[in-house]
Amino acid sequence: MRPRKRFGQHFLHDAGVLARIVQALAPAPGDTVVEIGPGEGVLTRALLARLPHLTAIEIDRDLAARLAAEFPPERLTLHCADALDFDFGALGPGFRLVGNLPYNISTPLLFQVARHADRLRDAHFMLQREVVDRMVAQPSTPDYGRLSVMLQVRFRMQRLFKVARGAFRPPPKVESALVRLVPLREPLACDEAIFAAVVRGAFSARRKTLRNALRIKAED
């Protein structure tokens, strides 16, 4: 099936990379695993070889129909929906996420997942390498920014391995990487809205002092 640009589709087809993703996730029969963006189902098949049941979220109706025709509902619970609108909190505690995320929605989707970190066991995402670099960046480095702060107060994150462009169809313009996110046992205790506003203000004017950046933000 031809990938659709409006959904940011780049289908993973490299068998070696698929095996490494499954190995990193290490799914067990009792796990509640949710795949975001199954696409043509190559990772879906690899996961169902290890799991009795899988939940998947796919926005493309044609791809969702193909998956529904291939897998019976007792093996695959399929939601034809936008992951940005999906209620992950309804999945229950201890769910696991995995997926080759569309790069055009990666940042808002990461923030969406972060809001449910208290119910999440872990997540393994294929993302644009530059996004992963920002996620795991340390303070005082060029990649450190709002995304780094907002995720690091919620997760312990690890870049597992890089993936070349040729592993996808069509090849994206950038390299990719697999990242693991594990929620912190004791995340930062504060008002999330206030914290997000402070972080947004702090990084909105990098060349200004923190006090001036926040003052400018408060005056807007």
pLDDT attached to residue 170: 85
Scan for tokens 């390299």, then name that residue: 175
pLDDT attached to residue 212: 58
Q: Where are the domains of the chain?
A: 5-188, 190-220
pLDDT attached to residue 171: 86
Q: What is the pTM of this model?
A: 0.87
If one compares 48 and 104, the residue with the highest pLDDT of the two is 48
**Range ranked top by mean pLDDT from 103-107, 126-130, 182-186, 190-194:** 126-130
Q: Report the pLDDT averaged over residues 89-95.
A: 92
Instruction: Indicate whether 38 pLDDT > 90.
Output: yes
Q: State the CB neighbour count (10 A cutoff) for residue 94.
A: 12
d(CA 108, CA 81): 16
11 in Cβ contact with 5 (< 8 Å): no
Instruction: Indicate whether 202 pLDDT > 90.
Output: no
| Superfamily holding 5-188 | Vaccinia Virus protein VP39 (3.40.50.150)
Write the pLDDT tens digit of every residue in 123-134: 999 999 999 999
